[in-house]
Amino acid sequence: MRKFMPQPGFVVQAYRYALDPSATTRQMMFSHCGAARASFNWAVTWVEASWWQRRAEESYGVPEDGLTHWRPWSLPALRKVFNEAKKIDPRFAGWWEENSKEAYSTGLANAAAAFDNYAKSKQGKRKGKRVGMPRRKSKHRARLACRFTTGTIRVEADRRHVTLPRLGTIRTHESTRKLERRVSNGTARILSATIRYERGRWFVSFQVEVKRELERVARPQVAVGVDLGVKVLAVMADSLGEIRCIPNPAHYDTALKTLGRMSRRVCRRQGPDRRTGQKPSKRWLKANTERNRVHHRVAHLRADALHKLTTTITSEYGTVVVEDLNVAGMLRNRRLARKIADAGFGEIRRQITYKTKRNGCRTVVASRWYPSSKTCSDCGAVKAKLPLHVRVFDCDSCPLVMDRDENAARNLAALAAACMTGTGVAGDQDARAPKPRGADRKTRVTRPSRKAEAGRAGGTRLPHQQQKETRDRTQTKALTLW
């Protein structure tokens, strides 16, 4: 799939709507998504066949010149070969004409992207975890999705129907007024549409090129620090000294009792068993649907609450400071994993990042090692240790006593002021704040041994004491920059 470059003054965004398809249309949508999965599996098998053939030939001592040629995995090459193979391949004979060509292009494009990611990851050109070889998608576990880039893709004038290639006109569960009004005014152009089955419903997402002006925030000169937590979802402290606390709705914890009761009901029914071929009973399907409905409601409530929170922040402040939290590492804590996942720390940062760009504001990302909770927001002294169960910050150098989350939010707000005044990162969008401790990792704090205390009492300084004093002077010098 080619990438669309928006024109000056235009941005590419998505409009997502729930669908209410008829039984016939629903069956056609399942067929299109199955066709995308089948073409993906064909591409993976076709490309990897040459890899295994070359490996077998190398084991027999075949020279490099005599090995089977590598099969290309670019999208144009896959399309060309697939269009010839689908007419003679028994896996597609008799039914491939029932679906739009876009369904097969979706699977081929996904396969090409998967092979590109694997190659770049193996060469060290891709960030993140190592990506393995593409694998075939299972019929039982694959996500159902199909993308349309050509053909009749439009939003009807009645604002309650959409038209897609081969699927025809489908009724939407909600009004499409926002998108239809922009398209009719000429301020938006639909680039593609993607149907997806998730959470028990069918959705359609339109990729739209929209003419959007910068939305002016209420207080562009004010910076705010956002400290995320579990007991309190977010504590916001702005540069004017105002403090706001957003309570954690804890949607999943609220629904745990209901989910437990419904899960026990599902366990008492006769469920599916792929090993023995046992099919689920109708009572199991009904109970499982009721349980899934609760899960879907929790997910929708969480998404709605996070969007309202991030929209409130980005529409009011000109600079937003967030922390670079190691969410994946935090989820390894078995005591807090459920609550951290329910809070959605990563989603909050993602939404703040793109919404500040939409409003022309600034996002400052504090370093992962920045001690926002351990630093005194009044005098700047840094505590050596501050356990998580200690919820009140009591400074050792000044009489400040404050809630630790409020203290962290104040430090983040001050970090934004330092970046704007030129002592830190030059307040650009998505700027990363410097490391005030002058280190790329946590400083190891240890208690002085008895031998060190005896040496200090006798007036002699040991080598490790001299190193500690040098490190303290370096940290103090770095902190004075703020």
User: Residue 364 and residue 425: Cα distance in Å, rounded?
Assistant: 9
Q: Is 469 a catalytic residue?
A: no
Nearest of 447, 453, 449 to residue 385 by alpha carbon: 447
- Closest to 344 in 3D by CA, of 313, 305, 317: 305
Type of residue at 35: A
Q: Which helix (H) or strand (E) holds 195?
A: strand 188-198
| Cα Dmax for the chain | 93
User: Which residues, 6 or more positions from 118, have their beta carbon under 8 angstroms from its beta carbon?
Assistant: 131, 132, 133, 134
Take residue 198 and report the two structure tokens written for it.
Answer: 């998730």
Alpha-carbon span 290 to 263, nearest angstrom: 10
Alpha-carbon gap, residue 103 to 31, rounded angstroms:
9
| Active-site residue, from 180, 209, 227, 238 | 227
**Amino acid of residue 395:** C
Q: Angle, nearest 10°, between helix axes 101-122 and 23-59? A: 40
Instruction: Report d(CA 355, CA 195) in Å as an integer.
Output: 25
What is the enclosing helix (H) or strand (E) of 347?
Answer: helix 345-358
One-letter amino acid for residue 261 of the chain: R
Q: Is 323 a catalytic residue?
A: yes
Minimal CA–CA distance to 348: which of 177, 208, 227? 227
Residue 479 neighbours by CB under 8 Å, 6+ apart: 380, 382, 436
Task: Tell me which of 180, 323, 342, 406 is the catalytic residue.
Answer: 323
Amino acid (one-letter) located at 42: W
Active site annotation includes 20: no
CB atoms within 10 A of CB 53: 14
Which residues are identified as catalytic? 227, 323, 405
